Amino acid sequence: MQDRLTDINTVCNLLGCTSRTLRFYEQKGIVQSTTSPYNSRRQYSCEQIEKIKEVLVLRSLGLPIAKIRELQANNCPLAEAISARKAELIALIEEKVKEYHLLSEALMTLDDGGDIFAAESLDRSHLTVTQMAIAERFADAFVQKRYDWCFASFSDVMKQQLSLNAFRKKVADTLKPLGNFLEKDKTVQDRELHNIYYCYLKYENLGLYIKIVFLQEKIHGVWLNYYPYSEEK
């Protein structure tokens, strides 16, 4: 008995796609149809409809048409293709995150009256040593409660957004549950974002890490965060 055929409009309504999409996929060789002998309209068997479903799902996962064609031709493992696409997206996301932060840093430089076309803006190597030293001194001053020194290291834009008194109050509120200071642990640079550093401090009850964001040689952002000793990074 011949398989029952379904008209293209019905298939589109059933699967939530357009006839133009199905025709395009057919031109690319990843779906097939059966032409009606009566009116030359595209119709689809149950097997063909199932193939269309698969293609629509794979496209929704971001697999390109060439990869879908390869899967169909070579019977490649589906999990392998999806994993490869996931890896591509992760790499793309990481690239875009870096691009986002570079754009943010460029805007911060412009807001602070700097020149993003200066040679030092392109050569970051010398900044790493300087920024690390400032981050270390910031942590020392923080522990010694020399908040005026901490404030002096802020960029002009940050000073406009956060007064010294507001900074003192934020620090006091943050320190309340920590107990007595024990020791300064370490200061590390972010693995991906070159202008971010983390200073780790140990207190009786919890650890505290200070996230410091630099604009050239000035601190442009500070975040105070708790961490259990078992979750040190």
Q: Is 197 helix (H, G, I), strand (E, B) or coil?
A: strand
What pLDDT is attached to residue 94? 67
- What's the pTM value of the predicted model, to 2 decimals? 0.50
CA distance 58 to 36: 28
- In the chain, the N- to C-terminal Cα span, in Å, equals 67
Listed in sequence order, the residues at least 6 apart from 210 whose beta carbon sits closer than 8 Å to its beta carbon are 138, 139, 142, 198, 199, 201, 222, 223, 224, 225
Estimate to the nearest angstrom the gap between the alpha carbon of 194 and the chain centroid. 15
Using the structure block, give the residue that is written with the tokens 């996929």: 25
- In whole numbers, what is the pLDDT of the chain averaged over residues? 84
Any idea which fold 6-76 has?
Multidrug-efflux Transporter Regulator; Chain: A; Domain 2 (1.10.1660)
pLDDT tens digits, 45-61: 999 999 999 999 999 98
What pLDDT is attached to residue 101? 72
What pLDDT is attached to residue 118? 63
DSSP E strands, the chain: 6-7, 34-35, 42-44, 181-189, 196-203, 207-215, 218-227
CA distance 211 to 121: 22
Parse the chain into domains and list their residue ranges: 6-76, 124-231
What pLDDT is attached to residue 232? 43
CB 190 within 8 A of CB 197: yes
What pLDDT is attached to residue 231? 43
Any idea which fold 124-231 has?
Nuclear Transport Factor 2; Chain: A, (3.10.450)
What pLDDT is attached to residue 153? 93
CA distance 33 to 42: 6
What pLDDT is attached to residue 126? 65
With a cut of 50, list the residues of the chain below it in pLDDT: 1, 122, 231-233
Q: Is 124 helix (H, G, I), strand (E, B) or coil?
A: coil
